[in-house]
Structure 1
Amino acid sequence: MNMKRIVMAVMLTMMLAVCIKAQNTDVTYKVRGEVVDSLTLKGEPYATISIFRKGAGDKPVAMAVTDLNGKFNVESRGEGTYVFTISSMGRNTIRRTFEIGAERKTINMGRLLITDSRTELKGVEVVAYKPLVKADIDKLSYSVADDPESKTVNAIDMLKKVPMVTVDGQDNIKVNGSTSFKVYVNGKPNNMMSNNPSEVLKSMPASSIKKIEVITNPGPKYDAEGVGGILNIITEGKGLEGYTATVSLRGSNTGGGGGVYATVKERKLTVSVNYNNSIQNDKKTYSDTERSVTDDNGVPTTVTKDSRTTKPNSQWHSGSLEASYEIDSLRLITASLSLSRYSRKENSDAQTHTLAPASGTGLYGYSSDIFNKDSYSSVSGAVDYQRSFSVKDRLLTFSYRIESDPQTNKQRIRYLDMYAGESWTDFINRIKNQDMDGDQSSTEHTFQLDYTTPFAKHHTFETGAKYILRDNKSTNDKYDAATDGNGELAYDKDNSSHFKHRNDIFAAYLGYGLSLAKWSARLGLRYEHTLQDVKYIVGRGSDFRKNFDDLVPSAKLGYKFSDMMNISLSYKMRISRPGIYYLNPYINDTNPESISQGNSNLDSEKTHSFDLQFSSFAQKFSCSLTTSYSFTNNSIQNVQRMVNDNDIAGLPNPTGKQVLYTTYYNIGKTQNVNFNGYVSWNPLTDTRFTLNAWGGYSHLTDGQSLKNHGWNVSLWTSLQQTIAKTWTVSLSAYMQTPDISLQGKTSSMFSHDFSVSKSFMDKRLNITFNCGNPFKKYFKYNSDISGPNFAYKQQYRFCMQYVALGVSYRIGKLQARVKKAERTIENNDVKQGGGSSSDTNMGPGK
């Protein structure tokens, strides 16, 4: 009986304790704050938060992690005294004590500074992947540095993984479904990148890139150019008081290269140096084209077949120097200098034959030997002065930037084995051996003033002004001779071109921002006035002036469910001004069968877009979903048609034959419905599945007889597995459906690759092996274009099979990075030509 009484007493005591505890846990409390690095003041992502009841053992009553910006908001229950700790790998633990009572249910820890631990950690196990994608209100960013495949692949391969970006089978790039976009490097525009994005990015190693930002809704402070948005390639590294340096080498069956990055910090001065080079010796490419001229009933009257073999090789060098100096806590000066050069050589052999399909008789034909040598260079420097104030986030910035972009273009064409029927003799005599020697240069000075200030607690106002002075010069000299091979090349003044092109751009903007607890809103208005003045010194072409006036509005509304989940609705208007490539009225008749000409009467495109975006990012599952609708009523379209060369005004020595004539008009009326989806899922600790998809439906018309419509879908997927903490294996695949244009479409596309990487010495040494398309060497890519009285088909065969090996090694330790002025110069104001495969042979002035 005594034992039963003891048991009953114990049970009653336990029940009483449970009741008392239940009474104590009636109080719900919240603990919030922010964890930032003590030196850089950047948020500490995924730090572990633990709350313990004081004196109740080591078992926490609540746990959580900080978000991507280092912020936390933890909820628990119970009154009393608690111990609050924050821990992160390689960091000193933060410890705080607080009390919860009936009158105090919310604890605001404020900003907590976390510091590096001097104790070296060993045997730490990675329990989750860091998300590769982050979404802000106006941009998405992809962390290239955290992707193991970045050790060997090039930049354009990494673009296939970036949300809202697609890369087709010929490495043509689209941002948000549009080829009209601009490329920045470290927040500053890079003309060489914007003019030749696919070629330069193919030569640029991904290991030199920290992250790629897709600015999908540029605010009013950005230039209005670029329908798809802006690609901002961030290359600077970061590092701890002292220095850091990374050296990398890579090689593949098509070339190789290397690079070095170093940063040194000494008190208030931080300097970084970056250099990379790449040599590409690509495999031969093959193309077969067939152009049919038809009568009004669609029956072919002539068929021209062209077979071409091309062997390209290229080199790329890039170097940059960046520095920042903190005069005091409110004043900062930053400066940068960058140099880059891209060169390419290309040898082509071609055979051209034109037949009468009814009889099979050869009308004319020839073989051609073509050599091209191009170089693109860029030298730029910038200085920014930033003035902060005692009011948080109030900034005044003065910026100056200078950039020069010299280019050279040389071409040598020799014709062999020429023949022609009697009625085609005059036509074939127009084809002559020729050399073309071109030099282009662009020098621009940009001055910019920006001011932003918060007011009335939840509001922000921004304004600024900008002036760009840009001088372009172009000389393109043509030399030709008789086709017998014995004639000396003679200067052809009539078909040469020297001109000067001056651009003056004035811009001003106003912006307003509202930020409440969970809501945010932005409104912006930008005005731009552009003056283009073109003067011809040598060759055909009439001087002309062209002015553009554009008023560009933008708006965005966002709602934040939590620090890791948000949704936004936006409207933006973007423009595409025609550059000299589109405006130049020079008649390029280098190939008398295919004649092209610019149109000096073009106006700037105006595209209106509405976007709805949802983003959610967590350790296990992350996604970003965007749907958009856009329309353009005056898009610049490349229009091709068969005409009698007598009808081309200004063409010297016409022969009365039908030729393919290409020019540009503001006739496009386009409507697009697009969908972008990015998903990253970690079903297991060391496993990551990634999906990047884009789909769109386009309806294009010139308002008359030309029209086309259809779906275009691209899909990139990857499975990544970490083994034994230091091995990473990745498998990926890419698929694309046919692309739609005003006058035709392309073929579908599929490719795949895998990589294996191994890290040594606490991840200071990394070795990666990469292999692409091991079971299929050559891919076929078809393009069909048709119009009144003609049909054009092309089959392009190119090698996508490759193997690559990369090695990188990091020395030193540095926690500071070169500081950046928060506002700086960003020029992205001109629609460039030559970006697509159809825009070829424009001749002088391109």
Structure 2
Amino acid sequence: MYAKLWIFILLLFSLFLAKSQEILNAKVSDSIQQKDSIATISEVIIQSSRRDVKLNEGNIVMNVSGNKDFKTSTNILEVLRKTPGVTVDSEDGIFIGGRMSPAIFINGKPVVMSSQELQSYLRSMSPEMVESIEVNTNPSSKYDAEFKGIIDIRLKKNTNLGWKGSYVGNTSINRFSYRENSLSLSYNTEKIGYNLLLGYNNGISIYRYNALQRLANTNVMRTQAYQKDDAEVYTIQLGVDYKLNDKNRVGVNVRGNFRESDRIRLGSLYTVNKDETQLVFNTESKNPTNYFQDNYGLATDYSFQHKNFKLNFLGNYLSVENKQKDDFTNSDKPTSQLLSYWKSDLLNKIRIYTGQVDISQKIGDATFEAGVKFSDTNTNNMIRYDTLSVNKQFVFDPTRSNQFSYQEKIWAGYWAYSQKFNKLQINAGLRFENTQSVSHAVTIDSVVSRNYLKWLPSFSASYSFNKSNELSFSYSRKITRPVFSQLNPFRFYFSPLNYWIGNPYLQPSFTNQIKATYRYKNWVTAFTIGKETDVMTRYPIYNPETNVLEYLGTNLPYRNFATAEMSFPIKISKWWNINTQIAGYYNHEFRPYLDEVFALKIYNYEMRLNQVFSLPKGYTINIFANYESKTGNSLYIIKPRYTVDISVQKAWFDNKLNTKMSFNNIFDSYDQRLEFRHKQIMDNRLTHWWDTQKLILSLSYNFGSSKYQTKDIQKTEEENRAR
């Protein structure tokens, strides 16, 4: 309670300081000339900090290297947590605009990694390696229509010849520990650049789930689950960048990522009667899992540039293979009697081929761009369940076993135009995407074929009044295709009575969005409004006879949404900086559910306060606080939550060695609590807890004589959905 009050007081204080900036500057203008008048903190002087924020066609661009706000961050994932407009959840998932999952770019090109690989990669990257981060919440038509948002991470430009190496190591300590190690080596000659990246991560992570459910027969059931995941990950990347001449360049990048995980999930269902005086049943379950994932990737690119003409080719191949074996046992806890026992064996294979060509021609102050892209995706999923029969033999279970295949081909193209008229910048574009897909659930003999063509326009305009004032406006139309796991009609179990199933009949959703952004110095305000149709979501179905709770996928007719965001940094003194972020969200979804229609208007907000203290002898201390108000959707209420982090940083040996220590989520207050709104249908309350309260020790060391920049890693829209 006191922590929440302290966060609120700090936020109000920063707002007060912000609103009083001009008044305070006027009052102390005379005292600025006098050294004695600024000797104490009681005479606070609000000074304009360096320009760490700017707009690029309406997108926020944050300087990272040298920015005090990020100096104590152990990696780029933590930098993103403090970046305006970006949210990083408890599982390190990245979102912008409240709920959109963005594509991650490196130096203007999307990266080729699975979600887990991407998180490890961002954690291995120190803030000192990054020049800036651009947050694009309304990408134009020249980007894949799947990209509702883009986070472009620009690395520092290094051009020296010779070799360079760096090591980054992080150790997270909680109830267990997790270690991340990354070694990067590069060698640069006049024409050829070589790079090698090696990574090894291992350790244990913990997850807990608790639920309280009042059943239809008035009994009260409590569900508990404890999951311990012991993982080991190996990564290798090899790249060659060859400059043929001043006009031609070609590059090749190959990679492999190999993950093995041994997971154990322990659960219990404790059920009593209505007044909780009599035990109805008390069962326990065990679900040990052995999981393997092998990823192989190849990216080739070629570029040609002559005067004002540019041509680029990018080709990608991705192979993903997942193997998972599970045991599920359910027993009566008081007597240890075995109630049920089944095994599952999963094999999942994904193959993706993509190729794209982009050209641009500059004529005077105008630039014309065009491009075409083709992608071919094939995925095959096979899962077999065997159940222990009454005669103690495992028997094939056809009701849960299934084989699912999915093929998707996409032809896409775009045309874009941009021109600058003095202080006014205009951009317009039109994209088409033709999708051909076939999903086949072999076991139930269900085939769904689709062939559709969509046109997706975009437009933006920005006006720079002067160096301190910028205004921009943008519009775009986007398509979101369901990811492969959403289409897959298999059961994925959380507990013996709780699982979710994919839906091969899901339709893609479409989003029309308008955004306006205004910057005054380092103050940025943005407003977004839009409508999404055929919204993909999950919904719960409770069976009162079996007490089974399953989550199914469906398309909602539509949702209306709006977002208002504001960020403003304040320099209180030479050693104290404050950066405040405030975001408000509105969501109105039209949700048919069972025999009723729910269309609630949900309002919520989020506030962040980032304080940086620059102390003597090169030490930097950072206190970061984040508060999220009550939110949810038409079916669930999500309770408020907050977190507070504290960290310290120190550089050694001319900044070659950088050490950092952080204590994240110091009050262990960032669990997620949900409650079903409509008690007449189902009374269900649940809590998700992740081990985000942790001590993190980080060390990075740079060596060698070169500063050559490593090759970009490529990614495609389809690879984003292969998860």
Both structures adopt the same fold (TM-score exceeding 0.5) = yes
Partner of 1:470: 377
- After superposition, what is the alpha-carbon deviation per residue over 1:522-568, rounded to whole angstroms, capped at 9, x for unaligned? 1111111111112344x335132233432211110111223564221
Q: Aligned match of 1:633 in 523, 530, 533?
A: 533
Partner of 1:513: 418
Higher-Rg member (1/2): 1
Query: Cα–Cα, structure 1 residues 246 and 587, in superposed 2: closer, same or farther, change >3 Å?
Result: closer
State the alpha-carbon separation in 1 of the partners of residues 218 and 255 from structure 2: 55
State the alpha-carbon separation in 1 of the partners of residues 238 and 108 from structure 2: 14
Partner of 2:25: none
Identity %: 18
Query: Cα–Cα, structure 1 residues 784 and 547, in superposed 2: closer, same or farther, change >3 Å?
Result: farther
- After superposition, what is the alpha-carbon deviation per residue over 1:663-713, rounded to whole angstroms, capped at 9, x for unaligned? 222224211121122323334344432223322122222265223322222
Contact residue 578 and residue 830 of structure 1 kept, 8 A: no
Q: Say whether residues 1:772 and 2:664 are aligned partners.
A: yes
**Structure 1 unaligned runs (5+)?**
1-126, 295-299, 421-427, 645-655, 835-846
Partner of 1:781: 672
What amino acid is aligned across from residue 274 of structure 2 in structure 1? Answer: P
Q: How does 1:265-664 map to 2 (within 5 A)?
A: 265-282=188-205, 284-294=206-216, 301-357=218-274, 361-390=278-307, 392=308, 394-417=309-332, 432-455=340-363, 457-482=364-389, 487-537=392-442, 539-563=443-467, 565-586=469-490, 593-594=497-498, 596-617=500-521, 622-643=522-543, 657=546, 659-664=548-553
Q: Aligned match of 1:167 in 88, 99, 118?
A: 88
- After superposition, what is the alpha-carbon deviation per residue over 1:76-97, rounded to whole angstroms, capped at 9, x for unaligned? xxxxxxxxxxxxxxxxxxxxxx
**SS of equivalent to 2:507:** coil
Q: How does 1:21-60 map to 2 (within 5 A)?
A: none
Partner of 1:708: 600
Q: Say whether residues 1:136 and 2:43 are aligned partners.
A: no
C-alpha RMSD of matched pairs (Å): 3.3
**SS of equivalent to 1:682:** strand
Query: Cα–Cα, structure 1 residues 579 and 815, in superposed 2: closer, same or farther, change >3 Å?
Result: closer
Contact residue 577 and residue 830 of structure 1 kept, 8 A: no
State the alpha-carbon separation in 1 of the partners of residues 721 and 304 from structure 2: 35
Contact residue 221 and residue 270 of structure 2 kept, 8 A: yes
State the alpha-carbon separation in 2 of the partners of residues 572 and 795 from structure 1: 37
State the alpha-carbon separation in 2 of the partners of residues 487 and 235 from structure 1: 60
Contact residue 168 and residue 736 of structure 1 kept, 8 A: no
State the shift of 1:453 in Å: 0.8
What amino acid is aligned across from residue 639 of structure 1 in structure 2? Answer: Y
What amino acid is aligned across from residue 692 of structure 1 in structure 2? Answer: Q
Query: Cα–Cα, structure 1 residues 789 and 359, in superposed 2: closer, same or farther, change >3 Å?
Result: same
State the alpha-carbon separation in 1 of the partners of residues 165 and 720 from structure 2: 38
**SS of equivalent to 1:281:** strand
**SS of equivalent to 2:654:** coil
Query: Cα–Cα, structure 1 residues 265 and 446, in superposed 2: closer, same or farther, change >3 Å?
Result: same
What amino acid is aligned across from residue 195 of structure 2 in structure 1? Answer: S
Partner of 1:45: none
Query: Cα–Cα, structure 1 residues 480 and 184, in superposed 2: closer, same or farther, change >3 Å?
Result: farther
**Which deviates more, 352-361 or 807-816?**
352-361
- After superposition, what is the alpha-carbon deviation per residue over 1:613-639, rounded to whole angstroms, capped at 9, x for unaligned? 12355xxxx232211111123212212
Report the number of matched residues: 667
Q: Say whether residues 1:217 and 2:138 are aligned partners.
A: yes
State the alpha-carbon separation in 2 of the partners of residues 277 and 146 from structure 1: 28
Contact residue 301 and residue 358 of structure 1 kept, 8 A: no
Q: Aligned match of 2:182 in 241, 254, 259?
A: 259
Contact residue 124 and residue 180 of structure 2 kept, 8 A: no
Contact residue 636 and residue 668 of structure 1 kept, 8 A: no
State the alpha-carbon separation in 2 of the partners of residues 612 and 743 from structure 1: 31
State the shift of 1:479 in Å: 2.2
Contact residue 79 and residue 127 of structure 2 kept, 8 A: no
- After superposition, what is the alpha-carbon deviation per residue over 1:210-269, rounded to whole angstroms, capped at 9, x for unaligned? 354423222222110143x12345568735232322223332322223222233221122
State the shift of 1:505 in Å: 0.7
State the alpha-carbon separation in 2 of the partners of residues 781 and 172 from structure 1: 14
Contact residue 331 and residue 340 of structure 2 kept, 8 A: no
Larger relative contact order (CA 8 Å, sep ≥ 6): 2
State the shift of 1:400 in Å: 1.4
**Structure 2 unaligned runs (5+)?**
1-46
State the shift of 1:472 in Å: 1.0
Q: Say whether residues 1:827 and 2:721 are aligned partners.
A: no
Query: Cα–Cα, structure 1 residues 480 and 334, in superposed 2: closer, same or farther, change >3 Å?
Result: same
Contact residue 144 and residue 206 of structure 1 kept, 8 A: no
**Which deviates more, 334-343 or 627-636?**
334-343
State the alpha-carbon separation in 2 of the partners of residues 580 and 713 from structure 1: 32
State the alpha-carbon separation in 2 of the partners of residues 718 and 816 from structure 1: 33
State the alpha-carbon separation in 2 of the partners of residues 263 and 831 from structure 1: 27
Q: Aligned match of 2:166 in 246, 256, 269?
A: 246
Contact residue 778 and residue 800 of structure 1 kept, 8 A: no
Q: Aligned match of 1:698 in 587, 610, 625?
A: 587
What amino acid is aligned across from residue 501 of structure 1 in structure 2? Answer: Y
Q: Aligned match of 1:718 in 610, 615, 618?
A: 610
Query: Cα–Cα, structure 1 residues 128 and 407, in superposed 2: closer, same or farther, change >3 Å?
Result: farther
State the shift of 1:519 in Å: 0.6
Query: Cα–Cα, structure 1 residues 249 and 815, in superposed 2: closer, same or farther, change >3 Å?
Result: closer
Contact residue 598 and residue 664 of structure 1 kept, 8 A: yes
State the alpha-carbon separation in 1 of the partners of residues 341 and 129 from structure 2: 44
**SS of equivalent to 2:717:** coil
Query: Cα–Cα, structure 1 residues 632 and 726, in superposed 2: closer, same or farther, change >3 Å?
Result: same
State the shift of 1:734 in Å: 1.5
Query: Cα–Cα, structure 1 residues 413 and 152, in superposed 2: closer, same or farther, change >3 Å?
Result: farther
State the shift of 1:606 in Å: 0.8
- After superposition, what is the alpha-carbon deviation per residue over 1:276-319, rounded to whole angstroms, capped at 9, x for unaligned? 3333323x44332122344xxxxx63433212222233334433
**Which deviates more, 305-314 or 336-345?**
336-345
Query: Cα–Cα, structure 1 residues 739 and 376, in superposed 2: closer, same or farther, change >3 Å?
Result: farther
**SS of equivalent to 2:573:** coil
State the shift of 1:350 in Å: 1.3
State the alpha-carbon separation in 1 of the partners of residues 184 and 496 from structure 2: 50
**Which deviates more, 247-256 or 824-833?**
824-833
- After superposition, what is the alpha-carbon deviation per residue over 1:384-421, rounded to whole angstroms, capped at 9, x for unaligned? 1111122x3x211222111112222332222221699x
State the alpha-carbon separation in 2 of the partners of residues 130 and 313 from structure 1: 44
- After superposition, what is the alpha-carbon deviation per residue over 1:783-804, rounded to whole angstroms, capped at 9, x for unaligned? 1124562122112344433222
State the alpha-carbon separation in 1 of the partners of residues 687 and 494 from structure 2: 23
State the alpha-carbon separation in 2 of the partners of residues 579 and 479 from structure 1: 27
- After superposition, what is the alpha-carbon deviation per residue over 1:569-628, rounded to whole angstroms, capped at 9, x for unaligned? 0011112112333333456689664464333332211111110112355xxxx2322111
